[in-house]
Amino acid sequence: MPSDPLPFDPHRFSAAAAHYRAGRAPYPPLLIRRVAEAVMPGAGGRVLDLGCGPGQLAIGFAYFADEVIGLDPEPRMLAAAAEAALGLTPNVQFRQGSSYELGPDLGRFRLAVMGRSFHWMDRSATLAHLDGMIETGGAVALFHDTHLEVPENAWRKRWREITERYASGDPLRERRHSETWVSHEAVLLGSVFCRLERLSLVARRVSTTDSLMERALSMSSTSHALIGERANEMTAELSALMAEVAPDGQAAEVLEWTALIARRP
């Protein structure tokens, strides 16, 4: 399935990097374990975290792999990842690079994972490159999270109205949300990694209002780099909203985390 890639900007998340780990909901260790057990039975093997950001998946998979390589084009993300992994997972390496630099010099992998990063790549070309890097029986896994339509998430509607108003000037976001955007599933089904399996986990968590401000600033479409001083206006609006709906400074939210595992037939 042909897919028109978004323009590559290696430093799109430069300003957002400082807010990412504090703001984004972490991937559940149980979901990471289930993916590892499905693709790497008996443990071992090498894992590539492509577009690793601050290293959430790379660190999580390090407990199941022989070696993990985290690849990201943004130095500030890599610095955050290295700091988070310090003293925890010595079998993780973080390197500057992107999906546009995949090649045999990285070696072979049992599993390539991507968390909230696949849409920034030339997806078809990336899968074609990974075909030459993923071992027989190995897989690609795309991680994602979404808020469910449940009462605990009622505040999210007003939250989205505010953030989407400030993000509306981002043409790349508009493309990803347009009717012409090709879904990840369609791209995978048109590639060699066309045997798909989805694992999911639903859980309730509590976030502080401070961490939710960090989350808003961790989105590239609403980062200081893209909207400038309007980011301060946005967080002021969001703070007023959360003071109303979560006066104790804590907001419950229910998320579904998914891992879409793609294998060769």
pLDDT in the model for residue 44: 81
pLDDT over 90 percentage in the chain = 95
Contact 58, 74 (CB under 8 A): no
Q: How far apart are CA 173 and CA 167, in angstroms?
A: 8
pLDDT in the model for residue 204: 97
Domain presence at residue 62: yes
Domain presence at residue 6: no
Domain presence at residue 205: yes
Provide Rg for the chain, Cα atoms. Answer: 18
pLDDT in the model for residue 2: 55
- The amino acid occupying position 127 is L
Q: How confident is the model at residue 14 (pLDDT cuts 50, 70, 90)?
A: very high
Domain presence at residue 2: no
What's the CATH number where 164 sits?
3.40.50.150
Q: How confident is the model at residue 3 (pLDDT cuts 50, 70, 90)?
A: low
1, pLDDT greater than 80: no
Q: How many domains does the chain have?
A: 1
Domain presence at residue 113: yes
Contacts 24+ apart (CB under 8 A), 234-237: 234/162, 234/163, 234/166, 237/162
Domain presence at residue 1: no
pLDDT over 70 percentage in the chain = 98
The range of the structural domain enclosing residue 63 comes to: 17-263
Domain presence at residue 63: yes
- The amino acid occupying position 234 is M
State pLDDT tens for residues 183-221.
Answer: 999 999 999 999 999 999 999 999 999 999 999 999 999
Q: How far apart are CA 234 and CA 231, in angstroms?
A: 5
Domain presence at residue 186: yes
**Residue 206: which of 138, 161, 152, 130 has the closest Cα?**
152
Contact 135, 45 (CB under 8 A): yes
State pLDDT tens for residues 54-109.
Answer: 999 999 999 999 999 999 999 999 999 999 999 999 999 999 999 999 999 999 99
Q: Which two tokens stand for residue 36?
A: 């590892």
Q: Name the average pLDDT for the chain.
A: 95
State pLDDT tens for residues 157-191.
Answer: 999 999 999 999 899 999 998 989 999 999 999 99
Q: How confident is the model at residue 42 (pLDDT cuts 50, 70, 90)?
A: confident
> Looking at 76-133, which runs of residues are DSSP E strands?
92-96, 109-115
